[in-house]
A = this chain, B = another copy of it.
Amino acid sequence: MGGLIDLNTVNEDEGHEDVSSSVGEANNAPQCSPSSSSSAAVCMELWHACAGPLISLPKKGSLVVYLPQGHLEHFPDFPGISLDNIPPHVFCRVLDVKLHAEAATDEVYAQVSLVPENEIEEKFRERESDIGLGEEDIEDAGRSATPHMFCKTLTASDTSTHGGFSVPRRAAEDCFPSLDYKQPRPSQELIAKDLLGLEWRFRHIYRGQPRRHLLTTGWSAFINKKRLVSGDAVLFLRGADGELRLGIRRASQLKQTTASLVLPSEQIVHGSLEAVFSAISARCVFNICYNPRSSSSEFIVPFHRFLKSFEHSFFVGMGFRMRFEAEDAAERCCTGVITGICDIDPLRWPGSKWRCLLVKWDDIEANHQCRLSPWEIEPTGSAQVSISIMASGLKRNRIGLPLAKPDFHIPGEVGVSDLRGSLGFQKVLQGQEILCFNTAYDGSDGPNHRKSKSRRRYPESNSTSVASFPMGEPLGKAFRFHKVFQGQENCPSQSHAAADLHGQWRNESKGVEILEGISVPGCGNRWSAFIMKSSNPQAQPTFLPVQISSPSMFRQASILAPNIQSQCRFNDQKKEANDRGYKDIFESQLRIMESRGLNHSGLVKDYGNPIAYWSSTQIVPDLLPRSKTSCRLFGFSLTDSEVHGALNEKGSLSPILPPLLSETSIWQPHDNRSLTLTKASGSNCTKATQLCAIRDRLLDIVL
């Protein structure tokens, strides 16, 4: 039996071993490719062994979603890079995946070549179902084909200068050539290659009372060269060709110290990120270095996993579980509860699903909140039933029945089969509109999510349905138009709605939320609009036109509306504001405001992050309460005359502006590429005609 032997795992998980060995049948020729790249390409098997059991490496040729926001989190203290035209989710084809190891630390990483795929985004927009996503978009060949390997965490004795390495008996028998046990102290020389291709020689001896396997001569040299300390782990792996290979998994600490020495300069990092983002803007190939063992590296998600994670709705109070790798390299599960759903940075990354879930863990200290992305977790409870059924089905298959893809249909549940074929977008996502952005607000009139187990039961004729969507930019759009706005056709008169809204704002216990905005990244002197939404379900969504007068930055914005006269100004502190983030601008301005005693007015915060504010001199004080708000910005704009036309035409506040939407990812100001929203609008349309087409369509829907 040649499965994986991980000595750090309690040997209780028989199912696990089964899976790995069964998949191994499909591809059991170990492929070691020592060539091609500049930093030597490494043995695939060994790379996967070092990377650990939980990593998911995208497959060459597969579709993935790249989340720039998650990537940027690896460079925390960074000045703002220009993020115009960068959508929060970049749909990409994986051109190539190269496995590497850092020469200094042996740390594994992968260089992933991605190219943005327009097609996929368009298909989404057109709700086409044949996206052609295979089931197995994760590279699992290397991991599954590991015939004989073991991994041992080093003890104090193993790493001391006093002696050698104590080899676990089963490991030695499985991986090393067998010794002549008739001799009194049988020994041999082992030669093992590490990730970088270096050879290491060890004396392997079987001695002591009681007898044991030891590595002596050569071991301390290895320990010293690799700077291993107790707590780190070593892996031995015998390939099908009989060659011994040797890898390491560091505990944690050395990563920081060594990495800080090797860390490239700020300038260099900045430049490399800029290169990535400019490539995305231009739809060119770009390369991402992807460390599967670092925390929060899930910023390249297989497309089908990304999709799958939105099959089930997320709601506050929902239980979930997540797999992760414990300190001893074993696989563990933790469970928790969703405590909130909101964008982590609604200004820079509107609609991003990156860590959009606020969660609490069940076992860790109760007050500690953290953020996760939907694809990192699995729901527990009802959703878990189908999973467990499926798992048992697989087991049965393995024992008796021929292997075939299961096609269960569980009444009342979204089954696995829904994933393939039609994908059931409409069905699956309908129930969610009310759930987002209503979190952590325990108003009595909201639906009680803990009780509503059935996802078919969604609120009827609720006028607050202009809500955000779990899929953000490209995904959310299509659904909204057809279903979400339907409930609004018999809306009350607009003046009434305005009064309602105003009354609502005066009511301290209710919050007003700026839900969506329309703005122009990269263009100055255009008009933009926020869509404001009260949490009172009776109130109408409100559209506020705002002038954006400077490129890619809200240096000056004015709200124009009968009862909302306000100025929002941002200093032109740096001529080239590109190299600063929104947050810097906002926060420095905030300090100026506070120094003038204006701190309580017009500040729009999103979970503590100020995202916009208004001077209080002219503002209706209650317009922007101190409660949570959210703000989504899309990339489109109107001319002056269009806005004033809309204002005059209606003569009143709400809705004075049609809600225009566009693709931030496609819109390129300095380009003559035209903008396409739907297939119907045609590919030969100019920008101007498309703008009108979109507006008309939206007017049809909204008014």
Contacts and interface: CB of A to CB of B under 8 A. Distances in A.
Interface stretch (A261-269, A498-506, A677-685): A261-269
B103 A261 contact: yes
A289 interface: yes
Given A38-B266, A103-B261, A264-B264, A275 B284 contact: no
A576 B38 CA distance: 23
A282 B551 CA distance: 14
Interface in A239-296: 260-262, 264-276, 278, 282, 284-285, 287, 289
A670 interface: yes
A578 interface: yes
Contacts of A39: 265
A584 to B, nearest CB: 15
Chain B CB within 10 Å, residue with most, of A269, A275, A278:
A275
A635 to B, nearest CB: 18
Contact of A271 (B260, B273, B578): B273
Interface string A524-551: 0000000000000000000000000000
A416 to B, nearest CB: 38
A637 to B, nearest CB: 18
A272 B272 CA distance: 6
A17 interface: no
Given A104-B262, A262-B104, A267 B289 contact: yes
Given A273-B271, A274-B275, A578-B284, A262 B262 contact: yes
A265 B282 contact: no
Interface in A543-580: 576, 578-579
A268 B268 contact: yes
Contact of A268 (B38, B264, B285, B579): B264
Contacts of A278: 274
A234 B92 CA distance: 53
A430 to B, nearest CB: 40
| Copies of this protein chain in the complex | 2
Contacts of A264: 264, 268, 272
A272 B271 CA distance: 4
Contact of A267 (B261, B275, B578, B579): B275
Contact of A270 (B111, B267, B272, B579): B272
Interface residues of A, number: 31
Given A270-B271, A270-B275, A275-B271, A282 B670 contact: no
A265 to B, nearest CB: 6
A270 B287 CA distance: 11
A289 B274 contact: no
Nearest to A272: B271
Interface in A13-50: 38-39
A257 B506 CA distance: 69
A104 B264 CA distance: 12
Nearest to A282: B576
A104 B39 CA distance: 20
Interface in A141-168: none
A151 to B, nearest CB: 26
A291 to B, nearest CB: 12
A576 B267 contact: no
Contacts of A282: 576, 578
A546 to B, nearest CB: 25
Contacts of A670: 670
Contacts of A270: 271-272, 275
Contacts of A579: 284-285
Contacts of A289: 265, 267
A681 to B, nearest CB: 25
A459 to B, nearest CB: 48
Nearest to A287: B267
A272 B267 contact: yes
A393 to B, nearest CB: 44
B576 A261 contact: no
Contacts of A276: 271
Interface centre among A39, A103, A261, A271 (most CB of B within 10 A): A271
Contacts of A287: 267
Nearest to A39: B265
Contacts of A269: 268, 271
A264 to B, nearest CB: 4
A273 B275 CA distance: 10
A479 B268 CA distance: 40
Contacts of A284: 576, 578-579
A261 B105 CA distance: 10
Interface string A63-102: 0000000000000000000000000000000000000000
A217 B282 CA distance: 60
Nearest to A266: B38
A289 to B, nearest CB: 6
Nearest to A670: B670
Contacts of A285: 579
Nearest to A286: B267
A72 to B, nearest CB: 14
Nearest to A268: B272
28 contacts: A38-B266, A39-B265, A103-B261, A104-B262, A111-B265, A111-B267, A261-B262, A262-B262, A264-B264, A264-B268, A264-B272, A267-B272, A267-B275, A269-B271, A270-B272, A271-B271, A271-B272, A271-B273, A271-B275, A271-B276, A272-B272, A274-B274, A274-B275, A274-B278, A282-B576, A282-B578, A284-B576, A285-B579
Interface of A: 38-39, 103-104, 111, 260-262, 264-276, 278, 282, 284-285, 287, 289, 576, 578-579, 670
Given A267-B272, A285-B579, 14 more contacts: A103-B261, A111-B265, A261-B262, A262-B262, A265-B289, A268-B269, A268-B272, A269-B271, A270-B272, A271-B272, A271-B275, A271-B276, A274-B274, A284-B578
In the A-B complex, list the 8 residue pairs whose CB atoms are closest, starting with the nearest: A271-B272, A271-B271, A271-B275, A268-B272, A264-B264, A284-B576, A103-B261, A268-B268
